[in-house]
């Protein structure tokens, strides 16, 4: 069975390409139970700028659903520290970013925030959570329903008006990857299985998951891409080790400077191996500067301790 690239890496470097929007469409179709989801474009927000920070990946897209509603979808993945605060900030910021870009929010139905979590958040017994904002009567407990007027042309080509519930508050989906037990019951489970195991489960039939199997295969990576990807995986392992060590020693894992310092210390151990990889890349025809960039090393790192 073909091994696939990690989903968080794919978010950063592959799924932003328009040619790969079909993978996002398949994932969203399964999650939102709408097979007519269409990705219209990648939004030019700050969240979509290329960022080498492995701790936070975010992609903002505009989609259209089967009811021809335009919806902003934010898919993100980041580390444990202050996650709910980051979640609230991210959904709010995507609204502000796109107002600045001139997006008319009368044309936007809502914002949907999807979080792919590679750690256990809070206490719970599920791997897929949904949340939004509702107003409940303090005395009755009933939900307040606000409707809007919708004008459309019916089958008799007559102008018609209908009232539809107005749901404008952000919706949140949390996918807790580590809590998923590899049991497939729904279409979205096929995608979560893929995200957790880096492979498509045999017999999977959800929309476009075959495209994910084809386009996200590790074997299709160029040599320089594979080196960069392996470096990313190493950094992920180092970061997790540092965080776990901090937990064991009672340090505050949310202290950014402490964690980053620990990660930097651990990275030094890999410099000698990285130098060997740089030499191999140079032997394959890359310049020293190109090889250093792929390995995320400075020329000083390479030339020191020769």
CB-side exposure of 271: number of CA atoms within 13 Å? 16
Residues 6+ apart with CB under 8 A from 62: 39, 40, 41, 43, 70, 71, 72, 73
What is the structure's pLDDT at 234?
82
Q: Is 46 exposed, middle or buried (0-12, 13-18, 19+ CB in 10 A)?
A: middle
> Any idea where the domains of the chain sit in the sequence?
7-132+167-218, 221-303
Report yes or no: 215 and 20 within 8 Å, Cβ to Cβ: yes
Over the chain (306 residues), the average pLDDT of each successive run of 10 is 84 86 95 93 61 61 86 74 75 70 63 86 91 94 85 74 79 92 96 94 94 89 85 75 58 58 62 68 74 70 60
What is the structure's pLDDT at 305?
47
3-state SS class at 19: helix
What is the structure's pLDDT at 181?
95
What is the structure's pLDDT at 208?
95
Q: Would you state the structure tokens that stand for residue 188, as one six-digit string?
A: 């979205």
261 C-beta neighbours (distance < 10 Å), count: 12
């Amino acid at each position: 069975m073909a091994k696939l690239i990690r989903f968080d890496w794919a978010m950063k470097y592959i799924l932003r390409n328009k040619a790969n929007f079909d993978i996002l469409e398949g994932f969203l179709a399964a999650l939102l139970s709408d097979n007519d989801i269409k990705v219209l474009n990648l939004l030019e927000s700050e969240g979509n700028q290329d960022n080498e920070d492995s701790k936070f990946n975010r992609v903002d897209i505009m989609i259209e659903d089967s009811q021809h509603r335009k919806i902003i979808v934010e898919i993100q993945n980041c580390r444990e520290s202050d996650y709910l605060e980051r979640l609230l900030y991210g959904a709010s910021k995507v609204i502000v970013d796109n107002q600045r870009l001139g997006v008319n929010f009368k044309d936007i139905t809502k914002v949907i925030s999807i979080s792919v979590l590679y750690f256990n958040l809070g206490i719970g017994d599920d791997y897929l959570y949904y949340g939004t904002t509702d107003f409940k009567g303090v005395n009755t407990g009933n939900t307040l329903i606000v409707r809007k007027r919708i004008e459309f042309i019916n089958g008799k080509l007559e102008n018609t008006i209908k009232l539809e519930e107005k749901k404008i508050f952000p919706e949140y989906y949390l996918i807790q990857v580590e809590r998923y037990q590899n049991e497939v019951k729904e279409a979205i489970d096929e995608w979560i299985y893929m995200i957790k195991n880096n492979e498509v489960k045999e017999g999977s039939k959800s929309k476009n998951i075959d495209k994910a199997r084809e386009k996200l295969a590790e074997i299709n990576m160029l040599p320089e891409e594979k080196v960069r990807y392996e470096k990313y995986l190493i950094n992920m392992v180092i970061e997790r080790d540092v965080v776990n060590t901090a937990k064991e020693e009672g340090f505050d894992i949310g202290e950014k400077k402490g964690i980053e310092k620990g990660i930097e210390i651990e990275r030094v151990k890999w410099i000698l191996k990285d130098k060997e990889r740089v030499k191999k890349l140079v032997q394959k025809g890359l310049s020293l500067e190109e090889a250093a960039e792929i390995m995320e090393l400075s020329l000083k790192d390479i030339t020191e301790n020769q």
